[in-house]
């Protein structure tokens, strides 16, 4: 967790509600699967349109770094790595400056 906390000042979504939501999920994570991260757009390749959704557009892409690997002890000892290139879905928001709690709840459920 310390590794994630140390990185808080290195990223922003430009929306304080989203930033706080991401930080809280990281601080409260019980497993690596609970961690939500802000990933810069340049970390995605092969972006392809899938569909239009309620809050924006959905795309398929490859995430160059991939998800965090490890176990719960690794969260606290900072001994973890990433699994490498991973196919994921992206959701482009129509208006991320005016995001609502409903969208954040949808993200957390996924």
Question: How much is the pLDDT for 80?
Answer: 75
pLDDT: which is higher, 77 or 19: 19
Domains: count for the chain: 1
CATH at 44: 3.30.200
User: Is residue 46 within 8 Å of 64, Cβ to Cβ?
Assistant: no
Token representation of residue 40? 């810069």
Domain span holding position 63: 2-109
CA atoms 74, 77, 81, 82: torsion sign: positive
The per-residue pLDDT for 77 is: 65
pTM: 0.72
d(CA 7, CA 3): 6
Asked whether 37 and 43 are in contact (CB, 8 A), the reply is no
Could you report the per-residue pLDDT of 20-43, keeping only the tens digit for each? 989 998 888 888 888 888 999 999
The pLDDT tens digits for 85-106 are 999 998 877 766 666 666 666 6
CB 86 within 8 A of CB 67: yes
pLDDT, tens digit, for every residue of 53-85?
777 899 999 999 998 887 655 666 667 788 899
């Amino acid at each position: 967790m310390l590794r994630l906390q140390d990185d808080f000042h290195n990223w922003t979504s430009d929306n304080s509600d989203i930033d706080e939501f991401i930080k809280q999920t990281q601080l409260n994570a019980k497993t690596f699967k609970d961690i939500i991260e802000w990933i810069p757009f340049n970390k995605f390749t092969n972006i392809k349109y899938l569909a239009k959704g309620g809050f924006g557009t959905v795309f398929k892409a490859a995430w160059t770094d991939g998800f965090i690997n490890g176990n719960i002890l690794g969260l606290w000892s900072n001994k973890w790595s990433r699994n490498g290139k991973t196919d994921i879905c992206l959701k482009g928001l129509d208006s991320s400056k005016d995001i609502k709690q409903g969208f954040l709840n949808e993200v957390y459920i996924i």
